[in-house]
Amino acid sequence: MVIIGSGPLPISLIMMCHQYGVRGIGIEQETERAELSRKVLEKLGLSDQIRIITGNHSILPLKDAAELIMVAAQAEPKQEIFDYLAEALPTSTKLSYRIYEKGLRRLLDTFFHYDLPESFEEYLRIRPEPPVNNTVVFVIKKT
């Protein structure tokens, strides 16, 4: 799996590797955050399962195909990211992202009112249960 906007502590990658034994790649555009992330992974002994790349969405697709690409809640600018992915990714690529459909965070969410490019089709939406406020949306790239 690949996470765009993995941040200084790639907790989603850490949890997925721990829970499911998957290998992951985090993409972080801020050099300092990427370096801190690498140090954390080294201390946790996860450097062989999780690789951090300094960059942004424009480095996709990677040489190694990913079963799932996640766009982090804080990854910005969302419209640019998804417009690029709609053009660059191969058919049948699965993506997930989070939106805030309720709570105060909804007022600040830049992606809530954005319509995905037509090449993405939603196949699953997991609505939050308190105390969580973010909805996880899964899409697949169509032809």
d(CA 81, CA 34): 19
**pLDDT at res. 18:** 87
Q: What is the mean pLDDT of each run of 10 residues along the chain (143 residues)?
A: 96 91 95 97 95 96 91 89 95 92 66 81 92 89 89
For residue 139 the two structure tokens come to 């899409």
d(CA 112, CA 101): 7
Secondary structure of residue 136 in the 3-state scheme: strand
Say if residue 131 is preceded by a cis peptide, omega within 30 of 0.
yes
pTM summary value:
0.90
Q: Domain 2-141: what homologous superfamily?
A: Vaccinia Virus protein VP39 (3.40.50.150)
- Amino acid at position 114, single letter: Y
**pLDDT at res. 112:** 59
Residue extents of the structural domains in the chain: 2-141
d(CA 81, CA 66): 17
Return the residue matching tokens 């308190």: 130
